Amino acid sequence: MNHLRRQGGFIFIAMLMVVIIVAAVMFSLTHISRSMIFAGDTAYLDAATADLVAAATAWASTNGSSAQFLGVETVLDVNDLGYRDASLRVRIETVADGRRVGIVASCGKGRRCRQAPAAFVLPPPAAAAVQESSPQN
């Protein structure tokens, strides 16, 4: 009987060690997976805001010469792009060397939100027409 009691104690200690090792591995894997999710969310937000800025740049290049968008902030519909919690605002103003375009793109995922302001100057409509009509080599 003493022999069985010793063997039972050994098995208990061995199983306790296995549980401790599994708990340590699970703890480290949880930390690693959280870091991977955070990095993935960051990459998603960076790509989404870059895509939104590119869409606003294309829209402003197409509609920048229209008088109806001058001096007002235009909120673009971004639902078709497939980003949740995204918004895109564009403001076009006339300046001496062309038209200044200000863009504010924001995108969110979970509790995180990324905003990407951008600005550039469109050439004046007359200069753009001259550039397009000039012969290129």
pLDDT at res. 105: 92
CA distance 17 to 20: 5
Q: What is the pLDDT of residue 25?
A: 94
| Whole-structure pTM value | 0.70
Q: What is the pLDDT of residue 6?
A: 58
Residue 35 one-letter amino acid: S
Mean pLDDT by 10 residues, the chain (137 residues): 62 92 94 93 92 90 81 87 88 83 90 89 64 53
Q: Which helix (H) or strand (E) segment is 92 a member of? A: strand 86-95
Dihedral pair phi/psi, residue 131, rounded to 5°: -65, -40
Q: Cβ(101)–Cβ(60) under 8 Å?
A: yes
CA-based R_g, the chain, Å: 29
Q: Report the C-alpha gap between 71 and 69 in whole angstroms.
A: 6
Q: Judge whether 73 and 90 are in contact, CB under 8 Å.
A: yes
